[in-house]
Structure 1
Amino acid sequence: METFLIRALQLIMSLSLLVVIHEGGHFLFARLFKVRVEKFCLFFDPWFTLFKFKPKKSDTEYAVGWLPLGGYVKISGMIDESMDTEQMKQPEQPWEFRSKPAWQRLLIMVGGVLFNFLLALFIYSMILFAWGDQYIKVQEAPLGMDFNETAKAAGFQDGDILLSADDVAFERYDGDMLSRIADARVVSVLRDGQQASVYIPEDFMQRLLADSVRFASFRFPYVVDSVRVNSPAAQAGFLRGDSIVALDGKSISFPDFVAAMADRKKNEAALLKDSIDSRLIALTYVRAGVTDTLTMRVDSAYLMGITPFTPDRLLPMVKKTYGFLESFPAGVNLGVKTLKGYVNNMKYLFSKEGAKQLGGFGTIGSIFPATWDWHQFWYMTAFLSIILAFMNILPIPALDGGHVLFLFYEIIARRKPSEKFMEYAQMTGMVLLFGLLIWANFNDILRFFF
């Protein structure tokens, strides 16, 4: 329950900021061109509003709705989410949206997208300034990586060190690298000291989307950081710094050991029938350059009482720091790279597996960490701001991009679409968006229960 509340709070905080910034972009350009904004609402408020106030000598009412699906600014003289068609039947007024030149209306409509993108660039810059950047160099990971079953079916093997995709070298394991692998013809790996080639099938990304397990994870050694007092490991004599290299004579990494113990626990009853003590293990370890083997019995939860070193202390980590001015171009590069990667991956949304992966608020909330982490909170907020900017600029009626499309038509054809057409377009767009919203959250429900 605590995890749910932490993630929910992060989600609400992030969405609140993104909605205020987005609608603030529309609001700022509207006021710049002397267009009246009747209402500025955080979240939607069908039937009732949680909070509202209207300053003296202001045309704008500020409100907080109860439905956290977005927000809106009600701009005079415009067909929007409010579907206020009665206002459009009145004579055109100079403070209305419809009375302004097309270029001004265009800037008002792109203001939200522009502000979301600028917010993402600013957050990325401040993340790099405050925390810097760090990553593991995939080509220098000493034990390589563990791969999921789909990757293994394509030809990858546990322990492979990823080198390049179509002769373009890898640097770090991230979404960009995964996209490059999926789009590549051949991926080069280092396997048992020799370079090998893995030929990537055309539908590789669709196969990966069907998986619930990530493509790969770093292998790292099992090195003892601390030993719990009176635990099986303490009684066996393990010390801090010992490196466990084999289980029952088979070489292992830490992920291998965890998987092996989970398998023993799962098959405990069957092993006992064969008179095999599944909790009795032989461990080979290295201490101060000397290799030795001991036998011990784990506890009933199949734990030894060892806390291992974390991967960032065992793998080759690159750490970069940025000065205040240096952080801005680096933040812009990171934001543009993130946008390009997201746009490139949109093509998979229209596949069968991609549609299944579409998620609603449950999926969005799950990307936030289970414990409070400001670095991850801001990183996810910047990422969501990129997504919000891109999704809103799509040429779909009811989205900002739909209004932009009709404004371009007006500029090129030199005449406005009829108000009746705009009404129908707005309604059609809202139906499509609500259908997409229902489908995304339905996917979340299916994933939760099945």
Structure 2
Amino acid sequence: MIQVAQILFILSVLVILHELGHYIAAKIFKVRVEKFYLFMDAGFSLLKKKIGDTEWGIGWLPLGGYVKLSGMIDESMDTDQMNTEPQPWEFRSKPAWQRLIIMLGGITVNIILAWLIFTIMYSTVGQKFIATEKIQENGLAFGDVGHKAGFENGDKIVSVDGKFQPSFNRMTLDILLGDKVEVERDGKIIDVILTDEMKGEIISKEGKEFLGPRYTNSVVDSVVPKSEAEKAGLLMGDKIKSLNGTNFVYYDQFKDGVSKHKNDSIALVVLRGEKTVELKAKVDKEGKLGFFNKPLDKLDFEVNNQLTFGQAVPAAVKESWSLLVYNVKQFKLILRPKTEAYKHVQSPIGIARRLPDTWNWEFIWNFTALFSIGLAFMNLLPIPGLDGGHALFTIVEMITGKKLSDKAAGYVQTAGMIILLTLMALTFGKDIYQLVADKLF
């Protein structure tokens, strides 16, 4: 329930402020706003009250929101109003440059909101991130897909497309969005080139877990019930010192050693408190024992840059711009079929499941800023039915001097809404199916 409450809060803030951007711009140019709704009121609304010319309300369907402007074909698909002569207070009677500003009002507010949130966060709690230099002091450890892609345990990421990423939080994303990864291996610089197919494997099989810090030891965090580890007598807190008489420095070395003894027995020496214990264990057919290694505390690698307000302002602008660029690159990745990234596009249901199950204001505001940039980018797309689609036709009108007819605008808007509703149905359906499947299986 806390995850649901968080996503509803975030969506409410973003939708209200986005639509407020349209509302304020419309009022500046004296366009009548007939409705201002949080969420969609398909069929009925939960709350509504008319103040002046505007009906303010809350819809029952949490799929965004809208403002209905007089003299404009929008989400309401109200075309009857277009059969009368244009009135001075209508959207269609305004000059193209004014209509363009009104259309871009929501996007502008989303970008400003992200900038303000980052500015406040950086100047109060600080600019926090996991430092790449710290987390890869001993090199990095990779999953099976990472090894298949050409990485090796112990590699250090030097750059992606010639740029060093100081924040490890974004390292995986940089690699997926980049073309050439430079790694330091045994004192040499080596290039790793990822194909679209390999990126698809990383996205579908391991995601962010495809690389991580290299553990300097193996400490049992938990044991899988009825596993070979449990049968062997491994306990939480045990430190594994050797495998078949061979000592190892890193956990990935132990893991690789175990995988070579599928369906075979191995001898372990563990340190349990101050006592040394010898155990016999059998490796399962997948090359595993059945325990989870104690994770490193990522806070040990966290950097917190305390910025003054004057320093936070440009840093927030830079971060907002950086996120916008990431959105563009991710969209390009989605459009490359071989990566199959399109299969992992998430609806608010999928996003909510990724949120923490405790209420954390610092996380919520940072996520709101990130989501706000994502919403701005999505609305910039030149798709009929989105702000970007309206803006595109207005820009074409400004260049050519020819305005799209009301009839054609109606057809375009209908096509756009069909596309958007289809995409929403697919993403929501996928996430609902996954939610149900996780509960049942």
Superposition TM-score tier, normalisation by shorter sequence:
0.7 to 0.9
Superposed displacement of residue 260, structure 1: 9.9
Q: Counterpart in 2 of 1:229?
A: none
- Does residue 163 (structure 1) correspond to residue 150 (structure 2)? The answer is no
1:309-324 paired onto structure 2 within 5 Å:
310-313=297-300, 315=301, 317-324=302-309
Superposed displacement of residue 26, structure 1: 0.3
Distance 1:171 1:246, change over 3 A: farther
Q: Counterpart in 2 of 1:13?
A: 9
Match for residue 413 of structure 2 among 407, 413, 426: 426
Deviates more, 1:336-345 or 1:175-184: 175-184
Is the partner of 1:48 in helix, strand or coil? strand
Contact 1:247 1:281 in 2 (8 A): yes
Is the partner of 2:116 in helix, strand or coil? helix
Is the partner of 1:150 in helix, strand or coil? helix
Is the partner of 2:44 in helix, strand or coil? coil
Distance 1:253 1:14, change over 3 A: farther
Q: Counterpart in 1 of 2:388?
A: 401
Q: Counterpart in 1 of 2:248?
A: 251
Superposed displacement of residue 258, structure 1: 9.5
Contact 1:246 1:284 in 2 (8 A): no
- TM-score, reference length from structure 2: 0.82
Contact 1:357 1:443 in 2 (8 A): no
Contact 1:243 1:285 in 2 (8 A): yes
- TM-score, reference length from structure 1: 0.81
Is the partner of 1:80 in helix, strand or coil? coil
1:129-168 paired onto structure 2 within 5 Å:
129-140=123-134, 141-168=136-163
Contact 1:113 1:392 in 2 (8 A): yes
Distance 1:428 1:176, change over 3 A: farther
Q: Counterpart in 2 of 1:388?
A: 375
- Does residue 333 (structure 1) correspond to residue 327 (structure 2)? The answer is no
Distance 1:396 1:170, change over 3 A: closer
In 2, Cα distance between equivalents of 1:255 and 1:369: 29
Structure 1, unaligned stretches of length 5 or more?
227-231
Superposed displacement of residue 165, structure 1: 3.3
Residues 72-118 of structure 1 show CA distances to partners (whole Å, capped at 9, x for unaligned) of 11111111111111111122211111111111111111000110111
Deviates more, 1:138-147 or 1:242-251: 242-251
Structure 2, unaligned stretches of length 5 or more?
222-229, 282-288
Deviates more, 1:359-368 or 1:168-177: 168-177
Letter in 1 for 2:149: A
Letter in 2 for 1:368: L
Residues 319-353 of structure 1 show CA distances to partners (whole Å, capped at 9, x for unaligned) of 31112232111111111111111111211112331
Contact 1:139 1:162 in 2 (8 A): no
Percentage identity across paired residues of the two chains: 36
In 1, Cα distance between equivalents of 2:125 and 2:182: 32
Letter in 2 for 1:394: L
Is the partner of 1:46 in helix, strand or coil? strand
Root-mean-square deviation (Å): 3.6
Match for residue 183 of structure 1 among 178, 188, 194: 178
Superposed displacement of residue 122, structure 1: 1.2
Distance 1:213 1:293, change over 3 A: farther
Match for residue 62 of structure 1 among 45, 50, 56: 56
Letter in 2 for 1:79: I
In 2, Cα distance between equivalents of 1:7 and 1:252: 40
In 2, Cα distance between equivalents of 1:371 and 1:256: 36
Residues 211-248 of structure 1 show CA distances to partners (whole Å, capped at 9, x for unaligned) of 24423111234598x9xxxxx9xxx9x99xx9876566
Q: Counterpart in 1 of 2:195?
A: 202
Match for residue 375 of structure 1 among 362, 372, 375: 362
- Does residue 114 (structure 1) correspond to residue 108 (structure 2)? The answer is yes
- Does residue 435 (structure 1) correspond to residue 422 (structure 2)? The answer is yes
Distance 1:435 1:303, change over 3 A: closer
